[in-house]
Structure 1
Amino acid sequence: MKMVRPTVSVIVAAYNAMPYVTRSISSVAEQTTGRDVLEVIAVDDGSTDGTGEELERLSALYPGLIRVIHQENSGGPSAPRNVGLDHARGEFVFFLDADDHLGPEALERMVAMARRNGTDIVLGKMVGIGGRSLPMSMFKRNQPKTDVYSSRVYWALNPLKLFRRELLEQHGLRFPTGLPIGEDQPFTALAYLRASGISVVADYDCLFCTLRDDGGNTTVRTTGSEPRLRFLPHMIDLLLANVPPGPGRDHLAHRHLTVEVQNVLSHLMLEPRDQQEKTLARLAETVALIWHEGMNDRLSAMARLRLHLVRHEMLDEVVELVRFERELARTEVSTPVLIENGHAYARYPFFRDPARPVPDSCYDVTAQLGVRHHVARAELRGTTLHLAGHAYLHRVETRDVTTELVLRERDSRTEYRLPVTHTGTPALGADEDQGRYAYRRAGFAAAVDLATAAAGEPLADGLWDMCLAIGAQGITREVRIGSKRAGGVSGRPATHIVTGAGDAPRAITLHTTKPYGNLTLDIGEKKHRVTPHLVIGTARWSADDPTELVISGTSTLAEHPDVPLTIALTADTADTGVVAVVPVLRAPHSDDFAARVNVRDLAAGVWTGELRLGARGEWTMPLPALPKDLAPAKWRHRGLPWYARSASGTGGRFALRVAKTELVKAIVRRVKP
């Protein structure tokens, strides 16, 4: 037994988990954290398939890592998880199902996330294997620190996460043992509600969850609506007791009123009629505790319809709707919509059926309409932004199109709406919904002069996000554009130096955001500086003229055609203000540039220098120090010898001394032994 407190205690509740348990335990042993900071507490819950013996073998294979506890079968994972938790000593606890396994860096990344942000729970991205369905909406991006109300973490109520053990012990959190399924939900929900913060690792596949070939997953082998109706009221009571009324409670209730209600109805289909009636009555009573009219705005139309039928105990309609949903999932063809007075209504069962009056609000999908877009062109030429592509509202025919380009400054929220040219797209829509919907006029093209885009004035400095207000038949939805784009549309930042008529030069960078890849204009170097695009190389004497100093470099600016690039040398002499300006020449079809300084033209003194971009030196960079091994240049002027050599620069900067050779000192140096 290790005496040092482990960082993570991995708790594995195992029941008849062969052959999966071998990979599960091995994935812990192979973590990049190293075994010396881990402990595995494997609880064999009365297995009869050799799982217990395999755990003992693995314990011998990885000495000091695994503690195996054998017990009589408890009927579910709650009791063995609680036993493991009682024996855990780690700073953190991770619950790992015996048929799942970890990615090699999973624990290292999750622990680092928790420590860096001071959070009590970390969700690692989950991946389904063998057709296993998993919640994924919370893994769109990394979330260093969030909570249960401002994220989607509540949609993942399984306990397969990293918990700070102090949180669990401080609040006495354990798994309830009286529920055949759903026992993990109250445990995880209370942990979420008590946590000081929650983190999400979305950029690494942390946990691989397996759908077993033998149907041995608990939720698969436990059938019927009754077990699900046992834990749903439990969860609703938990919310009523721990979360005050308001948007926070509604956000959490949303999960149960959609996911759990749908699951119950799916299992209700397999029951006899009298049992279906009892189940629906119990479900209606349970839903009434948490549902209210104000929640409809956050629910999908299908969820609103489903709940309406449940609350009114319309059994025949419920059965028909469940069958409709299954067929919808099987065909993957979206339901047609009716466009009327600026609203879209899905033609789900019983829509405007006089025999079964259901409110139109149960069918209103206006806010749920999918938006599709694709950018085929996005480039800046001078001050003109060129955009082209297509955009449409899913299931809405492109008639009476009113799509506009929206440029919105991120901080001030100032926006300008600009017209686009609508173009034909006759084949669009053929590759989705079995070609049932056509979008023949979804194309758009725009050429926006940024010098006049702000109601005739130039766009102000800022980060200008690009959106399309996609409109057709009186319905408009807005979408950021760029995440879907052609292969030839680069997402790399491209910084341009542009000028308008009589205007000072400005930096404009066309780029895409991370991680979503949406197009944005950075005007005025808010995030993308100009000077890093100018890299000055080592200065050397020309091979053709030993008194010509060649200063070379590279420019990765996308464009600066009318803006001068020069080398400015300033002399440290009695004649203040002496400056020599040398043009920089850019090599054709290349990022390379060079300036040639003829030192014979320089007056005596110490010359410092900088690279200037812009007629007034709007951007400057100091020249780097001359190489120490650079030999002096020598020449004669009016019969007298001159030289130019490196001088001691300040802070590693360029310094060139130009002077006449003092003949007496030179002779003394020559004859001196």
Structure 2
Amino acid sequence: MLRASVVVPVYNAGEHLDRCAASLTTQTLSPDSYEILFVNDGSTDDSADRLHRIASEHAHVRVHHQENSGWPGKPRNVGVALARGAYVQFVDQDDELAPESLERLLALAERNQSDIVLGKVFGTMAGPSNVFKRTVERCTVKDAPLMESLTPHKMFRTSFLREHGITFPEGRVRLEDQLFMARAYVRARTVSILGDYPAYQWVRREDGGNNSGGATTATDYYGHLRAVVRAIHEGTEPGELRDHLLRRSYRVELLRPVTEPRVLQRKGKHLAEYFDVVRRMALECYPPGVRQGLPAVTGLRAALLEEGRLDSLVELATRTRRIKPRVAVEPPVWRDGKLAVRVVVHHVRGDGEPLGLVRRDGDWYLDPELLRGIEGAEDWKVEDPFAYAAGELLLQDTTTGHWWYPDAELTPSLRALGDGRHQVVMEGETLIDPALLSGGEPLAPGHHEVWLNSQMLGVGRRARVASHSRPHVAVGRAGGQVVAPRWAGPHAQLRLTAGGVGARPLTLVRRTLAATASHPGGRRVALRVGRSLPRGARRRARTWASRTHKWSLS
């Protein structure tokens, strides 16, 4: 048996198919240990010809043709049925796998006998997700936030899918990915997460061709969400776990039409239609424990929804969209090769005053000034001021878009404001280790911006870690290169510029490639320039070169 099968549904992919295929055929995994299955779903363009050419050039590529089924569900199912690999990795025709993805994902899967392996996602369709904050050898939906990652671009043990009959719905079914993943997660005994290597590049096409097309109604969309909810009910017993898993769809999908910006964009009958549909679903499909576990503002929205108070939801959205984060940062200092960054963050209302709580008769109540005059919202009791409270720093590589998380989290606390008012704040010191932050390797040469995610009282915000006073921060050295922190741009955002030894390896590689562009070897030119670079830089150079689909670095 092969170690893996990569399943790619194809429909009118055009030139995107060549880019996708190049990333799959050039994996570091030995070609004789995996196969690539392209399932052509009745394409009417030149995709069939492209697939035949690709298969003729690569012995481990197989092509299956079928009549058009409408959406990717059936071709994925056909791919699983045809797969000869112990594991199946789903890839969409517009996307790519980074060069070491299969090798790393399989090592993690085989080491843990995993049913599912999540590879870190990056690209123009993906923002930062702390699901991929770090590599996790073994977890389940009981102890990891897996429901926050519901796309199918993952690796699955083939026998796991077959034994449990886990398939995609076929035809034009909205939320088909969520339905598939809900069925898989509740049955998986071991899930692994590859967080230290950006594995799956999720690409937004300029023509929008990789988005589900066609208009939909509220009734249609939420009818499909009911199927996802049913799958969770079928795979769990009543109780805390079921409530926990359902909370994600309640918070993200069900409350979306009654939360800013959607509830402020829709008007009249259009808004009323969505409100009626989601309210009915909230009352019929979700146990009371789902709403009870929500944080303050989110729980208030849920209560107003279930009580039928649309006008109150609109007014609440008008006020909460003005809530902003306020970040205070102390001058960062170097400590044992790590940059220590201490921050404090709190949220303020639209009038600039802190978003607060009041204490009365031993109970906490949400900020009266935020809720004043909103029918059904005043005197909203907050059971736990720290429910869902979270804060963390993260860095973005401005060249690749990769997000990295230092191994630290901020701590929530209450600060007295006087007259019985308090505010929730998140604070703490984060040690940024430039020598290890990038998946255990040094930061790539270039610029890395520092951001802060905060979640307090059910309001989540991302903010720049910035200081308009621009205090001096010393230059450090880590991972064999100079790391210069500075306050950059009009926002005075903290930015780490990695350089020094090996500071411009990609420039060197690009110039070398350009100089040999006329070499008769064409796509097969192999350059040994990578050998002279530091290990991390050599890997990044190989990654960049492979994405040109013309070069390989040895």
TM above 0.5, yes or no, is yes
- 2: CA distance, partners of 1:238 / 1:304: 24
**Residues 305-324 of structure 1: per-residue CA shift (max 9 Å, x gap):** 32223212323334455566
Please report how far the alpha carbon of residue 230 of structure 1 lies from its aligned counterpart in structure 2 after TM superposition: 2.0
**Residues 424-460 of structure 1: per-residue CA shift (max 9 Å, x gap):** xxxxxxxxxxxxxxxxxxxxxxxxxxxxxxxxxxxxx
- 1: CA distance, partners of 2:255 / 2:76: 28
Written as runs of structure 1 = structure 2, the 5 A alignment for 1:67-146 is 67-129=62-124, 132-134=125-127, 136-146=129-139
| Structure 1 letter corresponding to 2:148 | W
Partner of 1:36: 32
Q: Against the structure 1 CA distance between its residues 24 and 322, is the aligned structure 2 distance closer, same or farther, given a 3 Å change threshold?
A: farther
Matched, 1:352 2:345: no
Matched, 1:244 2:237: yes
**Residues 263-299 of structure 1: per-residue CA shift (max 9 Å, x gap):** 4556677766334334322212212244444444532
Matched, 1:200 2:187: no
Partner of 1:483: 430
- 1: CA distance, partners of 2:358 / 2:41: 59
**Residues 354-409 of structure 1: per-residue CA shift (max 9 Å, x gap):** 64445513798554566699xxxxxxxxxxxxxxxxx9979x87868xxxxxxxxx
Partner of 1:540: none
Partner of 1:515: none
Partner of 1:340: 358
Please report how far the alpha carbon of residue 52 of structure 1 lies from its aligned counterpart in structure 2 after TM superposition: 3.0
SS at match of 1:144: strand
Please report how far the alpha carbon of residue 175 of structure 1 lies from its aligned counterpart in structure 2 after TM superposition: 0.6
Aligned length: 389
**Residues 123-153 of structure 1: per-residue CA shift (max 9 Å, x gap):** 0111132xx2457131122111111111011
Partner of 2:294: 299
**Residues 34-72 of structure 1: per-residue CA shift (max 9 Å, x gap):** 21111111122233443333222222232x222222333
- 2: CA distance, partners of 1:39 / 1:367: 46
**Residues 79-116 of structure 1: per-residue CA shift (max 9 Å, x gap):** 11112122111110011011111111111111111111
SS at match of 1:81: helix
The percent identity for this pair of structures is: 31
| Structure 2 letter corresponding to 1:14 | V
Q: Against the structure 1 CA distance between its residues 320 and 75, is the aligned structure 2 distance closer, same or farther, given a 3 Å change threshold?
A: farther
What's the TM-score, normalizing by structure 1?
A: 0.52
Q: Against the structure 1 CA distance between its residues 49 and 239, is the aligned structure 2 distance closer, same or farther, given a 3 Å change threshold?
A: same
Aligned residues of 1:45 and 1:72 also touching (Cα < 8 A): yes
Partner of 2:48: 52
Aligned residues of 1:180 and 1:227 also touching (Cα < 8 A): no
Q: Against the structure 1 CA distance between its residues 206 and 315, is the aligned structure 2 distance closer, same or farther, given a 3 Å change threshold?
A: same
Consecutive unaligned residues of structure 1, counting only runs of 5 or more, are: 374-390, 401-471, 488-673
- 2: CA distance, partners of 1:234 / 1:15: 26
Aligned residues of 1:157 and 1:185 also touching (Cα < 8 A): yes
Please report how far the alpha carbon of residue 78 of structure 1 lies from its aligned counterpart in structure 2 after TM superposition: 0.7
Aligned residues of 1:224 and 1:267 also touching (Cα < 8 A): no
- 1: CA distance, partners of 2:50 / 2:189: 38
Consecutive unaligned residues of structure 2, counting only runs of 5 or more, are: 328-346, 394-409, 435-554
- 2: CA distance, partners of 1:126 / 1:255: 20
- 1: CA distance, partners of 2:417 / 2:374: 30
SS at match of 2:272: helix
- 1: CA distance, partners of 2:387 / 2:35: 49
Q: Against the structure 1 CA distance between its residues 282 and 226, is the aligned structure 2 distance closer, same or farther, given a 3 Å change threshold?
A: closer
| Structure 2 letter corresponding to 1:104 | P
Partner of 2:170: 177
| Structure 1 letter corresponding to 2:11 | Y
Q: Against the structure 1 CA distance between its residues 323 and 22, is the aligned structure 2 distance closer, same or farther, given a 3 Å change threshold?
A: farther
Partner of 1:513: none
Please report how far the alpha carbon of residue 473 of structure 1 lies from its aligned counterpart in structure 2 after TM superposition: 6.6
Please report how far the alpha carbon of residue 32 of structure 1 lies from its aligned counterpart in structure 2 after TM superposition: 1.0
Aligned residues of 1:288 and 1:311 also touching (Cα < 8 A): yes
- 1: CA distance, partners of 2:324 / 2:208: 22
Partner of 2:228: 235
Matched, 1:310 2:331: no
Aligned residues of 2:385 and 2:424 also touching (Cα < 8 A): no
Partner of 1:166: 159
**Residues 631-669 of structure 1: per-residue CA shift (max 9 Å, x gap):** xxxxxxxxxxxxxxxxxxxxxxxxxxxxxxxxxxxxxxx
**Residues 219-268 of structure 1: per-residue CA shift (max 9 Å, x gap):** 47655534421221111122222211111111101111111124455667
- 2: CA distance, partners of 1:155 / 1:392: 22
Aligned residues of 1:102 and 1:207 also touching (Cα < 8 A): yes
Q: Which has the higher contact order (CA 8 A, sep 6+)?
A: 2
SS at match of 1:483: strand
SS at match of 1:124: strand
SS at match of 1:213: coil
Aligned residues of 1:146 and 1:198 also touching (Cα < 8 A): yes
Please report how far the alpha carbon of residue 303 of structure 1 lies from its aligned counterpart in structure 2 after TM superposition: 2.1
Q: Against the structure 1 CA distance between its residues 261 and 323, is the aligned structure 2 distance closer, same or farther, given a 3 Å change threshold?
A: farther
Partner of 1:623: none
Partner of 1:598: none
**Residues 490-513 of structure 1: per-residue CA shift (max 9 Å, x gap):** xxxxxxxxxxxxxxxxxxxxxxxx
Please report how far the alpha carbon of residue 20 of structure 1 lies from its aligned counterpart in structure 2 after TM superposition: 2.2
CA RMSD of aligned residues (A): 3.6
- 2: CA distance, partners of 1:179 / 1:142: 35
SS at match of 1:7: strand
Q: Against the structure 1 CA distance between its residues 249 and 314, is the aligned structure 2 distance closer, same or farther, given a 3 Å change threshold?
A: same
Aligned residues of 1:127 and 1:208 also touching (Cα < 8 A): yes
| Structure 1 letter corresponding to 2:173 | P
SS at match of 2:182: helix
- 1: CA distance, partners of 2:219 / 2:128: 23
- 2: CA distance, partners of 1:392 / 1:192: 30
Q: Against the structure 1 CA distance between its residues 327 and 34, is the aligned structure 2 distance closer, same or farther, given a 3 Å change threshold?
A: farther
Greater displacement, 5-14 / 297-306: 297-306
Greater displacement, 309-318 / 237-246: 309-318
Matched, 1:12 2:8: yes
SS at match of 2:186: helix
Aligned residues of 2:122 and 2:201 also touching (Cα < 8 A): yes
